[in-house]
Amino acid sequence: MTSASSLHPDTSNAGSDQILLDVDDVWLSVNSDEGTVNILRGMSLQARAGEVTALLGPNGAGKTTTLSIAQGLVKPSAGSVRLLGQDPFTATAALRSQVGVMLQDGGLPPSVTPLRLIEHLAHLYREPLDIYALINRLEITEFQDRTIRRLSGGQQQRVAMAAALIGRPSVIFLDEPSAGLDPVSRRVVFELIQQMKHAGLAIVLTTHLLDDAEKLADRVILINHGRVEREGTVAELTDHHDRPAVLFSVETPLSDHALADVPEALSVHRVTATEATGMVGMETWQVRGLQEPADYVELTRWWQRWDILPRDLSMSRRSLEDVFWEVTP
């Protein structure tokens, strides 16, 4: 396996405190038939050397727009952006060469081969990475001579990653890097992201997948409706003084009347299959707010009142998904 040090610049002396991207109170407004629409509303974030910063949010939250502004592709209505200490909207060629971008749709020319594309891009930089080391690390060798249109989605994502890295960037933007990845490509891309981090790059990625954020990110920024709702490490975001939540499954779906009658101190919401420990064909629900013994008594009485027969009872700690649903109800 090719080492990370052979693929990336030595930025280890920078330390993780060096801020390579600073987005401060950015607004983006557009005019429509219905008046002014605020796409971004006071967006602020920082990305540091040697860290993965994940922008997490539902579709339409403003993640890709934020990346476009950070790269200097879309000018904000208000606010400021500093990328490697410069204004990206008046950036020099030297700054551009230090920034790598991997688009969600790849943006690759369909009629060329991966090898020819990477060779061409390498000629645009003064000190590119070793082409064959990069192709080998991303496991592109076996399909390097096929045209891009003949590659699977996951293979194209790996080529897009190579294109973003060939110039030895200090900052790399990854828009939904795991979108459409097969298991092999997912492993390759995730391992390389970790290597880039340890080599000192600042990595800014967008995702709507909670697992990706939990596995990859040093700092998570939860975005909804064009603004930051929460931010912090996964541990900080999930740290809570509540006792563990109760998970239970039911064979008969809970009625709207039962859900409207949940005890005031408690919150109940249905959880996804990845969280659920219930059996196939059942609904699984999570109960939070259980602080005192009396709360457990109230939960039991609620079950009895509505003839709810809980199955497969278990306890769960607060997760990133809990936080996600709190800010994106």
Whole-model pTM above 0.75?
Answer: yes
Q: Which residues contact 14 (CB under 8 A, 6 or more apart)?
A: 49, 50, 200
Q: Which two tokens stand for residue 43?
A: 């967006």
Predicted confidence pLDDT, tens digits, the chain (329 residues):
444 445 555 444 444 579 999 999 999 999 988 899 999 999 999 999 999 999 999 989 999 999 999 999 999 999 999 999 999 999 888 898 999 999 877 689 999 999 999 999 999 999 999 999 999 999 999 999 999 999 999 999 999 999 999 999 999 999 999 888 889 889 999 999 999 999 999 999 999 888 889 999 999 999 999 999 999 999 898 876 556 789 999 999 999 999 999 999 898 988 865 555 545 678 999 898 888 899 999 999 999 999 999 998 988 777 788 788 778 86
Q: Is 122 exposed, middle or buried (0-12, 13-18, 19+ CB in 10 A)?
A: middle
Q: Which of 223, 282, 276, 222 is nearest to 250 (CA)?
A: 282
Q: Which helix (H) or strand (E) holds 234?
A: helix 234-238
